Chains A and B, each alone.
Chain A
Amino acid sequence: MAYIEVAGVSKVYQGDTPDPIVAVDLVDLGVERNSIVTIVGPSGCGKSTLLHMIGGFIAPSTGEIRMDGKRIDAPGPDRGIVFQHFALFPWMTVRGNVEYGLVEKGIAKAERRDISQHYIDMVKLTGFEDVFPNRLSGGMQQRVALARMLACDPDTLLMDEPFGALDAQTRVIMQEELREICRASNKTVLFVTHDVREAVFLGEKVVVMTARPGRIKTVLDIDLADDAPRLKVDEKADEIWDILRDEVIKAVVPGPRPTERAAG
Chain B
Amino acid sequence: MTAIRFYTPLFLLVALWQAAAMGGMISAELLPSPSAIISGLVHLASGGDLLTHVGVSIYRQMAGLLLAVIVGVTLGVGMAQVAWVRDVFEPVVRITYPLPKSALIPLLILWFGIGHNSKIFAVFLGCLLPVVVSAFNGTRGVNGQLVWSARSLGTRGIRLLWKIYFRAALPEILSGLRIALALSFTLLVSSEFLIARAGIGYLIQSLGEAGDYSGMFAGILIVALIGFTADRLYVKFMNWMLRWQDQG
Contact = CB atoms under 8 A, between A and B. Distances in A.
A111 interface: no
Interface size class of B (residues with CB under 8 A): 20 to 34
Given A134-B245, A134-B247, A87 B146 contact: yes
B152 A79 contact: yes
A57 B148 contact: yes
Contact of B152 (A81, A89, A91, A133): A81
Interface in A5-22: none
- In terms of DSSP, what is the predominant structure of the interface of chain B? helix
B7 interface: no
A105 B154 contact: yes
Interface in B179-201: none
B155 interface: yes
Given A55-B148, A85-B145, A134-B245, A91 B154 contact: no
Nearest to B159: A104
B245 A75 contact: no
B167 interface: yes
A132 interface: yes
A54 to B, nearest CB: 11
Interface of B: 143, 145-146, 148-156, 164, 167-168, 170, 243-247
Contact of B149 (A74, A81, A93, A134): A81
Interface residues of A, number: 29
Contacts of A80: 152-153
Nearest to A152: B153
A77 B153 contact: yes
A104 B155 contact: yes
Most B CB atoms within 10 A — which of A77, A80, A85, A87? A87
Contacts of A87: 143, 145-146, 148-149
Nearest to A92: B244
Nearest to A131: B244
B153 A148 contact: yes
A32 B156 CA distance: 29
Contacts of B246: 134
A83 interface: yes
Contacts of B154: 76-77, 101, 104-105, 152
A120 B207 CA distance: 65
A100 interface: yes
A91 B170 contact: yes
Contacts of A74: 151, 156
Given A87-B143, A92-B244, 17 more contacts: A74-B151, A75-B148, A76-B154, A77-B152, A80-B152, A81-B149, A89-B146, A89-B150, A89-B167, A90-B245, A91-B170, A104-B153, A104-B155, A132-B244, A133-B244, A134-B244, A148-B153
